[in-house]
């Protein structure tokens, strides 16, 4: 089994469980994004929901990415991290008044608006401040993302965005709203998408919609295609950096952009997933009737993805070179769903071994909970442990 290069001796000294971020992997990922989008009218916003660890965020800010936020808390965190408000987009089906006001007060780049009542409220709140809010309409393109149904967002049955059948109504309404400035359209079809044809289908739909807006005399300065690029959870050592080249090429080849239009992306998982690991210790190895359980000191409180989405995370025993055996790798939480993997082959395991749950940089730390009154774990970076 090929294992990543961890500072194992240093990791052994630290109280587990904790998150470990390899900032060199993150920097290489960001460099690849910047190289692939150089000289193009492309602006990448980091989807803050994936991870807001301060060191991670600082590294992303330094690479010049904007921010995609879905709450007032995220808007504030982006601004506090030094990401310019002019690069902040704010999405979400349920923005509260205070959150909209926060966006207005900071003159964020754009609100991604998901419904008619939201448009009316933004118009009213902007009016009260004598401001004009820049908005992009989040349109539900009814394009399948071919991913887990919990992380599919662009189908008619999903709660997100404005349905295409409502567009006449919405564009007519916008003409009557004095404090709304329509700057673009926005989409997001889902997450962990590895089939590029889904993004291609999105491009086809956007080209049709561009025609629709042009026919109505509406000029759109910005097209935002959301996020969703998937990563390789099976082989993080072989594919530490997602295939940004193919991803961005789909859009340059299939989307008919005008020269004065900017294309925006909201990437979360693909930016941060592979730089992070959840590091845990084996508390006990328990012999069941027909199987062995490796019981870790980390559970779904630290990494909920396997329990919530049946997600696969690669698991490595960093302390063992013994021949592989099969284990059910489980956490200490009092629920059967607190299982990271079943019948999982890893090097022979004993109490005290250090385990890395890989690809945990996205939707790991940020989704941690204190269920069972557990403490929220700390995080360390490769820079600190060098
Ligand atoms: N933009 C919007 C409007 C979104 O809703 C999302 C993710 C993103 C961008 C970023 O998507 P990404 O590039 O990360 O795929 N907790 C789940 C993922 C939920 C994604 C929600 N929206 C998981 O652990 O798989």
Q: At what angle do helices 167-175 and 116-128 cross, to 10 degrees?
A: 10
Per the structure, the count of domains in the chain is 2
Note whether residue 342 is domain-resident.
yes
Write down which residue in 224, 244, 271 finishes a domain: 271
Residue 386 in domain: no
The phi-psi region of residue 166 (left if phi > 0; otherwise alpha if psi is between -120 and 50; otherwise beta) is: alpha
175 shares its domain with 305: no
Residue identified by tokens 């390789």 is: 232
Q: Is the peptide bond before 180 cis (omega within 30 degrees of 0)?
A: no
**Same domain, yes or no, for 150 and 164?**
yes
338 φ, ψ (degrees, to nearest 5): -80, 65
Q: Which of 242, 271, 300 is the last residue of a domain?
A: 271
Q: Is residue 17 part of a domain?
A: no
Whether residue 167 sits in one domain with residue 33: yes
pLDDT given for residue 150 in this prediction:
59
State in Å: Cα 292 to ligand 1 middle. Answer: 35
Residue having the nearest C-alpha atom to atom 9 of ligand 1: 227
Q: How far apart are CA 318 and CA 314, in angstroms?
A: 12
Is 302 in the same domain as 370? yes
Verify that 61 and 206 share a domain, yes or no: yes
Are 97 and 224 found together in one domain?
Answer: yes
What pLDDT, on the 0 to 100 scale, is given for residue 386? 84
Task: Please tell me whether residues 236 and 183 are part of one structural domain.
Answer: yes
Q: Where are the alpha helices (DSSP H) in the chain?
A: 8-13, 23-37, 54-62, 72-80, 97-105, 116-128, 167-175, 196-215, 244-254, 269-272, 305-309
- Ligand 1 pocket residue status of 191, Cβ below 6 Å: yes
For ligand 1, the distance from its centroid to the CA atom of residue 327, given in whole angstroms, is: 31
Q: Is 268 in the pocket of ligand 1 (CB under 6 A)?
A: yes
Counting atoms of ligand 1 from 1, which one is nearest the CA of 228? 15
| Cα 267 to ligand 1 centre (Å) | 8
pLDDT computed for residue 94 by the predictor: 94
Q: Report the residue count for the chain.
A: 386
Q: What is the pTM of this model?
A: 0.96
Ligand 1 proximity of 226 Cβ (cutoff 6 Å): yes
Report yes or no on 343 lying in a domain.
Answer: yes
Q: Is residue 34 part of a domain?
A: yes
Classify residue 13: in a domain, yes or no: no
Q: Are 262 and 170 members of one domain?
A: yes
Q: For residue 327, how far is the Cα from the chain centroid?
A: 30
**Segments of the chain scoring below 70 in pLDDT:** 1-3, 145-159
Q: Is 33 in the pocket of ligand 1 (CB under 6 A)?
A: no
- Asked whether residue 180 falls in the same domain as residue 299, the answer is no
Ligand 1: nearest atom to the Cα of 153: 5
**Residues 243 and 317 both lie in one domain:** no
Print burial letters for 331-342: b (CB count within 10 Å at least 16), e (below 16). bbbeeeebbbbe
Q: How far is the CA of 343 from the centre of ligand 1 (A)?
A: 29
Single residue among 271, 300, 329 that ends a domain in this structure: 271
First to last CA, the chain: 24
Whichever domain contains 159, its CATH number is 3.20.20.10
Whether residues 372 and 258 fall in one domain: no
pLDDT at 154: 55
Domain that holds residue 153: 24-271
The dihedral built from the CA positions of residue 53, 56, 61 and 66, taken in this order, carries a sign that is negative
CB of 309 shorter than 6 A to ligand 1: yes
Q: Could you tell me if residue 225 is inside a domain?
A: yes
> What's the pLDDT score for residue 118?
96
**Cα–Cα dist 1/287, whole Å:** 24
CA-proximal residue: ligand 1, atom 3 (nearest)? 188
Report the CATH number at residue 376.
Answer: 2.40.37.10
Per-residue model confidence (pLDDT) at position 146? 66
* Domain assignment present for 15: no
Task: Decide: 199 in ligand 1 pocket, CB within 6 A.
Answer: no
Gap between the Cα atoms of 82 and 78, Å rounded: 7
If one residue of 93, 158, 225, 269 were mutated to test the ligand 1 pocket, choosing by the most ligand atoms within 8 A of its CB, it would be: 269
SS3 label, residue 129: coil
For residue 210, the tally of other CB atoms under 10 A from its CB is 19
- State whether 334 and 373 are in the same domain: yes
């Amino acid at each position: 089994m090929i294992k990543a290069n961890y500072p194992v001796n240093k990791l052994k000294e630290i109280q587990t469980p904790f998150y470990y971020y390899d900032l060199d992997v993150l920097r290489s990922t960001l460099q690849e994004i910047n190289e692939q989008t150089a000289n193009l009218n492309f602006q990448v916003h980091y989807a803050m929901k994936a991870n807001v660890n301060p060191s991670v965020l600082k590294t992303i800010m330094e690479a010049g990415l904007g921010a995609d936020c879905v709450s007032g808390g995220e808007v504030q965190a982006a601004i506090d991290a030094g990401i310019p408000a002019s690069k902040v987009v704010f999405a979400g089906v349920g923005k509260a008044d205070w959150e909209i006001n926060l966006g207005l007060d900071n003159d964020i780049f754009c609100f991604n608006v998901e419904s008619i009542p939201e448009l009316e409220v933004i118009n009213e709140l902007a009016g009260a401040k004598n401001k004009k809010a820049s908005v992009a309409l989040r349109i539900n393109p009814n394009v399948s993302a071919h991913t887990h149904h919990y992380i599919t967002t662009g189908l008619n049955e999903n709660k997100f965005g404005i349905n295409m059948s409502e567009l006449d109504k919405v564009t007519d309404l916008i003409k009557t709203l004095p404090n709304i400035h329509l700057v673009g359209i926005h989409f997001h079809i889902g997450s962990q998408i590895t089939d590029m044809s889904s993004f291609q289908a999105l491009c086809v739909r956007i080209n049709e919609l561009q025609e629709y807006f042009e026919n109505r005399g509406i000029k759109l300065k910005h097209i935002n295609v959301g996020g969703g690029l998937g990563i390789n959870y099976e082989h993080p050592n072989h594919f530490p950096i997602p295939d940004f080249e193919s991803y961005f090429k789909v859009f340059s080849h299939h989307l008919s952009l005008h020269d004065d239009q900017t294309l925006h992306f909201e990437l979360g998982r693909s930016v941060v997933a592979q730089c992070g690991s959840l590091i845990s210790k084996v508390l006990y190895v328990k012999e069941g009737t027909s199987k062995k359980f490796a019981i870790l000191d980390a559970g779904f409180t630290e990494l909920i993805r396997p329990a919530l989405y049946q997600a696969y995370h690669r698991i490595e025993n960093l302390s063992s070179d013994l021949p592989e055996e099969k284990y059910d790798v489980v956490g200490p939480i009092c629920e059967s769903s607190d299982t990271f993997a079943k019948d999982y082959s890893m090097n022979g395991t004993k109490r005290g071994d250090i385990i890395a749950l890989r690809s945990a940089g996205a939707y790991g730390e940020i989704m941690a909970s204190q269920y069972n009154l557990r403490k929220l774990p700390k995080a360390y970076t490769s820079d600190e442990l060098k």
